Chain A
Amino acid sequence: MTTTLPRPAMPSAPVAPADGHAIEAVDLVRTYHTHLGVLRRRKIEVPAVRGISFAVRPGELFGLLGPNGAGKTTTIKMLITLLLPTSGTARVMGYDVVRDTTEVRKRIGYVFGGDRGLYDRVSALDNLRYFAELYGVDPDVQRTRIGALLEMVGLTGREKEKVEGYSRGMRQRLHIARGLLHDPEVVFLDEPSIGLDPVGARELRQTVQSLVDAGKTVLLTTHYMFEADALCDRIAVINAGRIVALGTGSDLKGAIANRTIVEIETFGVTDEAVGRLRADPEVGAVNTEERDQSQILLVQSERGAHITQRLLGLLGETRIGKVVAREPTLEDAYVHLIATTGDDEARAARAASVQ
């Protein structure tokens, strides 16, 4: 995959937004109304986004990072005019996403991860031609634009094949080509690396980087901290519909920089033992990861490595494997943020939405 973007054949005059932001969200709120039950239908409200504000500079690569159901997709769909906010406002390139939908739509590209969103029964080329028409791409430049995009996402030579025969990664790359057909100024990528193998994911990150190099503003959502850290200029961590941290990767790491992470491998640790760790005043947070045979306890503390003995003491009879004390990573910062910010209301909302 090459990293050069097709140059727009016609100079697309960049309209500098009045306030200097490519994307601006102010107090965005979105509540879904749905029903529970089949016979006795009960109305429920799902507060998906509960007051989100941020601003993205032109040319910036901005990441939205958060767990499942945090409200990332909902936020994006409001910004790309597919959902109306329950309250709050947002602008893209200076245009209001509720009122000036056509102006916004001309300037944005939208790519989501996964298998959907393509016409499987026709070729990739037919898909691109069709969307080029819908996106109002000038007929004179369609052919060269499509050719350049196929080249960029590495599908040249396979464009005449039906999409139903495409692999996940090829589909994802076709999605990206589709989203860039009209040379949008702002590109929204909702979990673009979902389902890609490591090589595919790395190529995708190169492609995303090349978008920014070509001067585009990119808003990206992801579950992967390392991806956010590697790519994004700034990251907003969102949890349960709220931004719980916003800054560069090192800003986020800084929040727990003075902490030490002690990784303890255990075999058959009990909830009580974990509870004893959590209750200890010297311990910041405890997270557990299940492995095949063992459990890894990730214990955060401000006490440095010498807390290890104390922790092992608290675990009592538990069988212990490897123990490592190390510096926190962005992942630890993220886990810490998510663990400490999900309030009761949010937990209730999440519980309601999974039923």
Chain B
Amino acid sequence: MSASRVIRLVWFVTWFNVRMLLASEFFILTTFISPLIFATLAFFLFQSGGGTAGQTLLYVALGAGMMGVWSTTLFGCGGAIAWQRWEGTLELLVSAPSRYDFILVGQTFGAVVLGFYGIVATLAWGVLLFGMPIEATFPLVLPLSLLAAIVSLGSLGMLIATTFVLYRHANALGNLLEYPIWLITGLLVPISVLPLWIKPISYLLAPTWGMEAIRGATIGAEPPLLAIAMCFILACAYYVAARYTLVFVLDKARRDATLALQ
């Protein structure tokens, strides 16, 4: 397939999935409400803890928004596969001549696009309801940090989604992965408070760097260029890993007959 065809395909799949996700009430609820709930909780916790500094508030709010975006991504990437299996379209996607990894990338982008909404909504919510000032030490780097952070979540979601192809009951697994990722990638609490042995795992997970990129841009002493770069590097690595996992997973799915429900 030529590069232009691949780009066209990914673009198509992205927008198709944005529209499909927006047509699902459950998804709209998760995407549109959960970042706001998490952000609200964060605002109150922050205030009751006596915090006042605007920049720290922004950092905390964005962390909460990221938690919501992770839920969206997990549902958008993994849940979509479970749901397509249910609808009977997974077999059609797999038996199409297009490479399935491109389709998966498109689905991931779709989830990322909506994830971006989650972040924007969090910011707007903070400003409107809590009078949160949008102040950051590196305001110009902040948008890039946010993009990197969302890409980090999306790429992890994509990698996890590959296993969803294999297991008919992967949904349960997906729900299970929601909270641990919040914890070990520093979305909930800074990873500096986590036990030492978890840190190597944290640093292999792209969202850790995504959160670090946000921290750096809002309250850091230096621009978080390393963290931003790491997000994109790990995202590429995850794509390569996902591509090869898919070769194995699709082969196994054909062996074990797990593409359809029956």
The interface of chain A, by Cβ under 8 A from chain B, is 32-33, 77, 80-84, 102, 105-106, 108, 110, 112, 114, 116-122, 126, 129-131, 133-136, 139, 178, 182
Q: Does B12 contact A (CB under 8 A)?
A: yes
CB distance from A23 to the nearest CB of B (A): 16
The interface residues of chain A lying within 8 Å CB-to-CB of B257 are 32, 77, 83
The interface residues of chain B lying within 8 Å CB-to-CB of A131 are 92, 96
CB distance from A105 to the nearest CB of B (A): 4
CA distance A88 to B89 in the complex (A): 28
Which residue from chain B places its CB closest to the CB of A107 in the assembled complex? B97
Cβ-defined partner of A117 (8 Å) among B24, B92, B96: B92
The interface residues of chain A lying within 8 Å CB-to-CB of B254 are 81-84
CB distance from A142 to the nearest CB of B (A): 11
* Interface contact B20-A117, CB-CB below 8 Å: no
The interface residues of chain A lying within 8 Å CB-to-CB of B92 are 110, 117, 131, 134, 178
Cβ-defined partner of A134 (8 Å) among B24, B98, B255: B98
The interface residues of chain A lying within 8 Å CB-to-CB of B12 are 129-130, 133
Cβ-defined partner of A106 (8 Å) among B87, B89, B93, B97: B97
* Interface contact A82-B91, CB-CB below 8 Å: yes
Q: Contacts A121-B20, A134-B9 hold; do A105 and B87 have CB atoms under 8 A apart?
A: no
* Interface contact B98-A136, CB-CB below 8 Å: yes
CB distance from A184 to the nearest CB of B (A): 10
Can you offer 19 A-B residue contacts whose CB atoms are under 8 A? A82-B91, A82-B94, A84-B251, A105-B97, A108-B95, A110-B95, A116-B88, A117-B87, A117-B91, A119-B87, A126-B16, A130-B12, A130-B16, A133-B13, A134-B96, A134-B97, A134-B103, A135-B97, A139-B8
* Interface contact B23-A121, CB-CB below 8 Å: yes
Q: 3 closest pairs, A vs B, by CB?
A: A116-B88, A121-B23, A117-B88
Q: Contacts A82-B254, A121-B23 hold; do A135 and B96 have CB atoms under 8 A apart?
A: yes
The interface of chain B, by Cβ under 8 A from chain A, is 1, 5, 8-9, 12-13, 16, 19-20, 23-24, 87-89, 91-98, 103, 251, 254-257, 259-260
Which residue from chain A places its CB closest to the CB of B84 in the assembled complex? A119
Cβ-defined partner of B20 (8 Å) among A32, A102, A122, A136: A122
Q: Contacts A83-B257, A134-B96 hold; do A118 and B89 have CB atoms under 8 A apart?
A: yes
The interface residues of chain B lying within 8 Å CB-to-CB of A112 are 88
Which residue from chain B places its CB closest to the CB of A34 in the assembled complex? B257
Q: Contacts A130-B16, A134-B9, A136-B5 hold; do A102 and B97 have CB atoms under 8 A apart?
A: yes
CB distance from B168 to the nearest CB of A (A): 11
The interface residues of chain B lying within 8 Å CB-to-CB of A182 are 97
CA distance A119 to B89 in the complex (A): 8
Which residue from chain A places its CB closest to the CB of B17 in the assembled complex? A130
Q: A105-B97, A122-B16, A136-B5 are in contact. List 16 more A-B contacts (CB 8 A).
A: A80-B95, A82-B95, A82-B260, A83-B254, A108-B95, A118-B87, A122-B19, A122-B20, A122-B23, A129-B12, A131-B92, A134-B9, A134-B93, A134-B98, A136-B97, A182-B97
Cβ-defined partner of A116 (8 Å) among B13, B23, B87, B251: B87
The residue among A80, A117, A139 with the most chain B CB atoms within 10 A of its own CB is A117
CA distance A80 to B92 in the complex (A): 10
CA distance A120 to B103 in the complex (A): 19
Cβ-defined partner of A133 (8 Å) among B9, B88, B89, B91: B9
CA distance A126 to B260 in the complex (A): 23
CA distance A7 to B88 in the complex (A): 29
Q: Contacts A116-B87, A121-B23 hold; do A135 and B98 have CB atoms under 8 A apart?
A: yes
Which residue from chain B places its CB closest to the CB of A162 in the assembled complex? B23
Which residue from chain B places its CB closest to the CB of A74 in the assembled complex? B257
CA distance A131 to B254 in the complex (A): 21
Cβ-defined partner of B259 (8 Å) among A82, A105, A110: A82
The interface residues of chain B lying within 8 Å CB-to-CB of A114 are 88
Which residue from chain B places its CB closest to the CB of A133 in the assembled complex? B12
The interface residues of chain A lying within 8 Å CB-to-CB of B95 are 80-82, 105, 108, 110
CA distance A256 to B103 in the complex (A): 52
* Interface contact A136-B23, CB-CB below 8 Å: no
The interface residues of chain B lying within 8 Å CB-to-CB of A82 are 91, 94-95, 254, 259-260
The residue among B12, B92, B93, B103 with the most chain A CB atoms within 10 A of its own CB is B92
CA distance A141 to B24 in the complex (A): 32
CB distance from A176 to the nearest CB of B (A): 13
The interface residues of chain B lying within 8 Å CB-to-CB of A129 are 12
CA distance A308 to B94 in the complex (A): 57
CB distance from A54 to the nearest CB of B (A): 21
CA distance A32 to B262 in the complex (A): 11
The interface residues of chain A lying within 8 Å CB-to-CB of B251 are 84
* Interface contact B20-A119, CB-CB below 8 Å: yes
CB distance from A43 to the nearest CB of B (A): 13
Which residue from chain B places its CB closest to the CB of A30 in the assembled complex? B257
CA distance A114 to B254 in the complex (A): 22
CA distance A125 to B72 in the complex (A): 27
The interface residues of chain A lying within 8 Å CB-to-CB of B89 are 116-119
The interface residues of chain B lying within 8 Å CB-to-CB of A178 are 92
The interface residues of chain B lying within 8 Å CB-to-CB of A134 are 9, 13, 92-93, 96-98, 103
CA distance A114 to B91 in the complex (A): 14
CB distance from B225 to the nearest CB of A (A): 37
The interface residues of chain A lying within 8 Å CB-to-CB of B20 are 119, 121-122
* Interface contact B8-A133, CB-CB below 8 Å: yes
The interface residues of chain B lying within 8 Å CB-to-CB of A33 are 256
The interface residues of chain A lying within 8 Å CB-to-CB of B1 are 136
CA distance A18 to B62 in the complex (A): 62
CA distance A112 to B87 in the complex (A): 13
